[in-house]
Amino acid sequence: MKVNIINGQSIPNIPWQERPQGDISPVWRYTANPIIKRDAISCSNSIFNSAVVTFNGKFAGVFRVDDKQRRMELHAGFSDDGINWKINKERIKFVQQDPSTEEANEWGYGYDPRVCFIEDRYWVTWCNSYKGFPTIGVGYTYDFVTFYQCENAFLPFNRNGVLFPRKINDKYVMFSRPSDSGHTPFGDMYLSQSPDMKYWGEHRLVMSPSKERPWESLKIGAGPIPIETSEGWLCFYHGVLQSCNGYVYSFSACILDAQQPWKVKYRCSEYLINPRELYECVGDVPNVTFPCAALCDADTGRIAIYYGCADTVVGLAFTTVDEVVEYVKSHSNI
Ligand code: BMA
């Protein structure tokens, strides 16, 4: 590999499929997509923007399940191969880390989870209801059975809270995207820093949308947990344009400075994946590709990206760290 993965892990069983012959795109779809269908469990209306990690040599995850009442819930799930999933029928019921926060953390909804292993545990962040308004919920688990809930990271309105996989300059770092209470026709990627996962400050603007970047001209938001490489933090993120038919969610990647990750080194001018397959264009919300997790095998550089499709199902896409870093660098226009 030309690009080194830093602090990476070996994932010999990472889901993988070679690029289809004749396909020239730097990121390619799994031919058996979608890997998780909308009715994978009896209560589900749809299962989409979901987070997957390695767990005891296999895989576990936190899944966004919208049920048939159209409540937005989080469910744990497990897989031997990262492709075939058993998702729990019951939603996650968080135990309060501090019982005095019970009332503040009363469950309202949870969506768009991310999972990040740091030090000794799997941290979960998601869009949480605080008195009915969206903000970033924070919790953790050791075993994907018991989940502890901590204080919300930010005030409403906020979405897309995504942790970095290690402390930087002795602080935890999290992306977020301040929003409104609705479908938010704006959105920039910020990051915030914390000594303890509870008090967040030292907020920094990372990137904004702009009219010069049509595919992501309306808003942008962080995606999977950043991947540390010798070139900097490789971050997949989503970008949204507004068409006469509504919002269109595509995704691409940027590379951020290793020590000061609010500094953008490279930002791809093109999307890497946009809605074009039937399962990405047809569903409860048409034209959405929304990545929430990426596995990266440090030995081969293979990357498997999990992305929600049309707010209905989960798809898988592949690339390698060499290919995507090279593509982002050669198509960067910051
Ligand atoms: C965002 C979130 C995502 C969703 C997207 C498209 O605001 O609700 O969960 O995928 O809109 O509907």
| Ligand 1 site, CB within 6 A | 49, 111-112, 183, 249, 285, 288, 290, 308, 311
Give the per-residue pLDDT at 134: 98
**For residue range 216-229, what is the model confidence (pLDDT) as tens digits?**
999 999 999 999 99
**For residue range 218-276, what is the model confidence (pLDDT) as tens digits?**
999 999 999 999 999 999 999 999 999 999 999 999 999 999 999 999 999 999 999 99
Residue 67 Cα to ligand 1 midpoint, Å, equals: 16
pTM beyond cutoff 0.95: yes
Residue 270 Cα to ligand 1 midpoint, Å, equals: 21
Give the per-residue pLDDT at 236: 99
**For residue range 163-210, what is the model confidence (pLDDT) as tens digits?**
999 999 999 999 999 999 999 999 999 999 999 999 999 999 999 999
Ligand 1: which residue has its CA nearest to atom 9?
112
For a substitution probing ligand 1, which of 109, 216, 290, 309 has the most ligand atoms within 8 Å of its CB?
290
**For residue range 100-149, what is the model confidence (pLDDT) as tens digits?**
999 899 999 999 999 999 999 999 999 999 999 999 999 999 999 999 99
Give the per-residue pLDDT at 1: 85
Atom of ligand 1 nearest to the CA of 247: 6
Q: How many CA atoms lie within 13 A of 47 on its CB side?
A: 28
Ligand 1: which residue has its CA nearest to atom 1?
183
Contacts of 121 (CB under 8 A, 6+ apart): 140, 141, 142
Report, in angstroms and rounded to the nearest whole number, the Rg of the chain calculated over CA atoms: 18
